[in-house]
C-alpha cells in the first residue's frame, strides 16, 4: 500500500450494489468528489487498481473502468510503468473532509442571486383525496381517450415518417391540425379563419405569456376584471406592464370604467373572459360586448379573449365569441382542449390576423421550437371525424344534470351559509360563504375529511373579498357531489 493516508481516504468510499447506477460509475463519482474537495491533489498518484479493489470490495476490472471513465473526462492521467495520477491541469483546492452523504445529492442552493418577485411565488397543490369540488375541471372518464389513443397510434404507424419525426416542423403547428381546427372554429364559433390565422400552443397560459412577451412593452397599460385570474395578472406584471383592474358585476366587465381609462391613458390590451367570466362565471352582456369592440377600434387596443370553456353552456346556445364580430383584427382569441378533455393534455390555440400569428410564431421559437405535432394531428383526426363534436354533446348533457343536482344540494343543505346564482354555463358555481366562515380553515378541515376545496385566497384582492370560491361540479359523479356536500354541511 502506497500511503496509509490514501488508504483511509479510499476506505470511506461506500458503494451500493442495489442501486441502479453502475458500480464503476459510483466509484468514479466518489473519486471525482475527492478531487473536487481537494482530498486528492493535482499530480498526486493514486493507489493501484488492485489495492483499491480490495479496499472497497469489488473486482479490479471495475476499478479500471472507473479510472478509464475519469481519464476520458480529463480528471485522471495514466503513464505506462508509473501508474495513475490526478491530472496536473487541475488547480489546487484546500482539502475538506469527505462526507459520504454529499455524494449523488442534488444542489439545493445556487451560488448566484435570483431575481425573485412576489408574483413568481405560485405554489401549486395536487390534491390526493376522494372528493373534489375543484376549479372547474372536466371529467376525464367522459373524454374520448380510446379514440385519441387510436388516432395518436395511427400517427406513429402511417407513412411520412421522416416528415413527422426526422425534422422540425412549423412553429405555429401542423398544417393538417390548423386546417381541421379552422373548420371546427368556423362552424362552432362563427369565426372566419383559415389555417394562417391559427397558432398551436400548449394551453391558455402559454398563449397569454407569448402575447405578453411579443406584444407588451414595459409600462404598457393592460386592463382586466377584478376579481380575475391571477395567473394571467402575474404574466402582466412579469411583462412589466401597468396592470389596472376594473370591476365585474352581474353583467360582466364594467365597460364604462374602461371607457374612462381610455380617455386618460393609452391602453395597450384588455384581457377578458366574456363567455363565462373567471371566476364569477357571469356572461358579458351583448351591449357591453359591442361597446368593448367599438372602444378597441376607436382607441386601438388589443382584446385578448380567453374563451376557456365555450362548449359548455346550458341555458341556450353559447354566446358567440367577440372574435366572431371582429372586423378590424383587434381580437386575439384563445381557446383550449384542456378544459374539454383533461388538463393533462396541453392543447390550446391562438387565433388572430395572419401577421400577428407570424410574429407570435417567431417569438415562440425563442422558447419552444414547436408544439407536439403528433398530438395535434391526432386531435385533427377527432375533429374531422366528428368525435369531438359528439363528445361535447354528450358531456354537455351530463354536466347540466350535475349542475342542477349540485345547485339543488347547495340550496337544500347549505342555504343558511352560502349564496350563489345558478350558472348559465361552465363547470363551477361561484359560491359566496357567510363572512363568519373562514375559508382557509374550512378547506383544511374538508381536506382532512377527504374533500378538496379552494381556500379562496386566489380570489382575494385589496379592494375585493367576497369570501367566495369556485365549487366545481363537472369532474364529480352525482354520488360524489352528494358526499361532498354532506362533508361540507358537517363542517359549517
Q: What string of DSSP letters covers 366-392?
A: TT-S---HHHHHHHHHHHHTTHHHHHH
Instruction: Tell me the mean pLDDT in the region 70-83.
Output: 90
Neighbours of 38 (CB within 10 A): 15
Instruction: Tell me the mean pLDDT in the region 183-211.
Output: 93
Residue with cell 401542423: 174
Please give the grid coordinates belonging to residue 231: 395567473
Over 50: is that where the pLDDT of 21 sits?
yes
Q: What share of the chain is helix, strand, coil (3-state, %, to 5)?
A: 45, 15, 40
Give the best-scoring range by mean pLDDT among 2-6, 202-206, 371-375: 202-206
Q: DSSP secondary-structure letter at 438?
A: -
Q: DSSP secondary-structure letter at 464?
A: B
Choice between 161 and 108, residue whose per-residue pLDDT is larger: 108
Domain 145-385, second-level architecture: 3-Layer(aba) Sandwich (3.40)
Q: What is the rounded CA–CA span in Å between residue 459 and residue 341?
A: 25
Please give the grid coordinates belonging to residue 39: 482530498
Q: What pLDDT does 411 receive?
A: 95
Nearest 5°: the CA angle 107, 113, 115 is 115
- pTM for the model: 0.81
Please give the grid coordinates belonging to residue 20: 441502479
Cis before 155 (ω within 30): no
Over 80: is that where the pLDDT of 470 sits?
yes
Q: What pLDDT does 475 receive?
A: 92
CATH topology of domain 4-102: Arc Repressor Mutant, subunit A (1.10.10)
Neighbours of 117 (CB within 10 A): 10
Residue 1 pLDDT level (bands cut at 50, 70, 90): very low
Give the best-scoring range by mean pLDDT among 35-39, 93-97, 466-470: 466-470
Q: Which of 9-23, 181-195, 421-435 is predicted with the least confidence, judged by mean pLDDT? A: 9-23
Instruction: Tell me the mean pLDDT in the region 52-71.
Output: 91
Q: What pLDDT does 95 receive?
A: 65
Dihedrals phi, psi of 78, to nearest 5 degrees: -120, 140
Q: What are the domain boundaries of the chain?
A: 4-102, 131-137+390-491, 145-385
Residue 94 pLDDT level (bands cut at 50, 70, 90): low
Q: Which of 312-316, 328-332, 460-464 is predicted with the least confidence, judged by mean pLDDT? A: 312-316
Over 80: is that where the pLDDT of 321 sits?
yes
Q: What pLDDT does 38 receive?
A: 85
Domain 131-137+390-491, second-level architecture: Alpha-Beta Complex (3.90)
Instruction: Tell me the mean pLDDT in the region 4-12.
Output: 79
Instruction: Tell me the mean pLDDT in the region 112-141.
Output: 83
376-428 pLDDT, tens digit each = 888 888 999 999 899 989 999 999 999 999 999 999 999 999 999 999 988 99
Whether 4-102 shares its CATH topology with 145-385 is answered no
Amino acid at each position: 500500500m502506497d500511503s496509509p493516508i490514501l488508504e483511509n481516504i479510499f476506505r470511506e468510499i461506500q458503494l451500493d450494489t442495489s442501486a441502479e447506477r453502475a458500480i464503476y460509475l459510483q466509484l468514479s463519482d466518489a473519486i471525482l468528489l475527492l478531487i473536487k474537495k481537494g482530498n486528492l491533489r493535482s499530480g498526486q498518484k493514486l493507489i493501484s487498481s488492485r489495492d483499491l479493489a480490495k479496499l472497497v470490495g469489488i473486482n479490479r476490472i471495475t476499478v479500471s473502468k472507473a479510472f478509464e471513465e475519469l481519464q476520458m473526462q480529463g480528471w485522471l492521467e495514466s503513464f505506462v510503468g508509473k501508474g495513475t495520477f490526478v491530472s496536473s491541469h487541475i488547480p489546487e483546492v484546500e482539502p475538506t473532509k469527505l462526507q459520504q452523504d454529499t455524494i449523488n445529492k442534488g444542489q439545493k442552493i445556487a451560488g448566484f442571486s435570483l431575481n425573485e418577485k412576489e408574483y413568481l411565488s405560485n405554489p401549486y397543490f395536487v390534491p390526493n383525496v376522494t372528493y373534489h369540488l375543484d376549479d372547474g375541471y372536466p371529467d376525464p372518464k367522459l373524454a374520448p381517450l380510446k379514440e385519441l389513443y387510436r388516432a395518436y397510434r395511427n400517427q406513429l404507424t402511417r407513412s411520412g415518417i421522416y416528415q413527422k419525426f426526422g425534422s422540425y416542423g412549423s412553429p405555429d403547428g401542423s398544417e393538417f391540425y390548423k386546417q381541421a381546427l379552422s373548420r371546427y372554429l368556423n362552424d362552432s364559433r362563427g369565426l372566419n379563419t383559415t389555417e394562417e390565422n391559427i397558432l398551436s400552443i400548449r394551453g391558455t397560459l402559454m398563449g397569454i405569456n407569448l402575447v405578453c412577451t411579443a406584444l407588451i412593452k414595459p409600462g404598457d397599460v393592460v386592463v382586466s376584471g377584478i376579481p380575475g385570474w391571477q395567473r394571467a395578472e402575474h404574466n402582466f406584471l412579469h411583462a412589466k406592464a401597468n396592470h389596472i383592474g376594473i370591476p365585474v358585476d352581474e353583467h360582466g366587465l364594467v365597460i364604462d370604467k374602461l371607457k374612462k381609462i381610455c380617455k386618460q391613458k393609452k391602453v395597450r390590451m384588455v384581457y377578458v373572459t366574456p363567455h363565462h367570466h373567471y371566476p364569477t362565471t357571469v356572461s358579458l352582456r351583448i351591449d357591453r360586448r359591442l361597446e368593448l369592440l367599438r372602444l378597441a377600434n376607436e382607441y386601438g387596443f388589443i382584446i385578448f379573449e380567453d374563451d376557456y370553456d365555450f362548449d359548455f353552456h346550458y341555458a341556450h346556445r353559447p354566446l358567440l365569441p367577440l372574435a366572431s364580430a371582429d372586423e378590424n383584427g383587434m381580437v386575439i382569441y384563445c381557446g383550449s382542449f384542456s378544459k374539454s378533455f383533461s388538463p393533462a393534455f396541453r392543447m390550446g390555440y391562438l387565433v388572430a390576423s395572419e401577421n400577428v400569428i407570424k410574429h407570435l410564431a417567431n417569438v415562440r421559437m425563442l422558447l419552444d421550437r414547436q408544439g407536439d405535432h403528433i398530438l395535434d394531428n391526432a386531435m385533427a383526426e377527432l375533429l374531422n371525424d366528428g368525435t369531438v363534436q359528439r363528445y361535447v354533446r354528450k358531456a354537455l348533457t351530463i354536466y347540466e344534470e350535475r349542475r342542477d343536482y349540485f345547485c339543488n344540494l347547495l340550496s337544500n343543505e347549505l342555504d343558511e351559509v352560502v349564496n350563489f346564482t345558478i350558472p348559465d354555463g361552465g363547470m363551477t358555481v361561484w359560491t359566496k360563504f357567510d363572512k363568519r366562515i373562514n375559508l382557509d380553515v374550512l378547506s383544511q378541515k374538508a381536506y382532512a375529511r377527504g374533500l378538496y376545496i379552494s381556500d379562496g385566497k386566489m380570489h382575494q384582492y385589496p379592494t375585493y373579498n367576497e369570501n367566495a370560491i369556485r365549487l366545481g361540479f363537472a369532474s364529480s359523479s352525482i354520488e360524489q357531489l352528494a358526499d361532498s356536500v354532506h362533508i361540507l354541511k358537517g363542517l359549517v
